Amino acid sequence: QSALTQPRSVSGSPGQSVTISCTGTSSDVGGYNSVSWYQQHPGKAPKLMIYDVTKRPSGVPDRFSGSKSGNTASLTISGLQAEDEADYYCCSYAGSYLVVFGGGTKLTVL
């Protein structure tokens, strides 16, 4: 049950794009197309932004996109906006009902 690896922080200017990586193993990220991403603003509950690697729930802007290659998944946010500043967590299914989270990435909009 080792946590997935994410960069501690990323930053970008309004209008730019940023990508957050999430590295696991063949037992989680690489083994299933079940990576999800969550946005968390300070003092708030996490919010689902991406599921099944690339899918967006209703209401999530299409500026948010996901991808996966091997044991690494990525979240890309294009056209950065001030309200995107938050913590982002990846999560992967790991078999037998289990999930594992990444350590989280703080996104700063400069």
Partner 1 sequence: QVQLVESGGGVVQPGRSLRLSCAASGFSFSNYGMHWVRQAPGKGLEWVAVVSYDGSNKYYADSVKGRFTISRDNSKNTVYLQMNSLRVEDTAVYYCAKYSVGWYLDYWGQGTLVTVSS
Give the contact letters, 46-85, x = binds to partner 1 (CB under 8 A), - = no: xxx--xx----x----------------------------
Task: Report the C-alpha gap between 97 and 29 in whole angstroms.
Answer: 14
Task: Report the C-alpha gap between 17 and 64 in whole angstroms.
Answer: 10
- State the minimum distance, in angstroms, from the CB of residue 10 to partner 1: 15
- Segment 15-44, which members bind partner 1 (CB under 8 A)? 32, 34, 36, 38, 40
How many residues are given for the chain? 110
**How many residues touch partner 1 (CB under 8 A)?**
27
- On whether the CB atoms of residues 68 and 83 are closer than 8 A, the answer is no
At a CB cut-off of 8 Å and minimum separation 6, what does 69 contact?
none
Task: Report the C-alpha gap between 47 and 75 in whole angstroms.
Answer: 14
- Segment 81-110, which members bind partner 1 (CB under 8 A)? 87, 89, 91, 93, 96-104
Binding-site ranges for partner 1 (CB under 8 A): 1, 3, 32, 34, 36, 38, 40, 45-48, 51-52, 57, 87, 89, 91, 93, 96-104
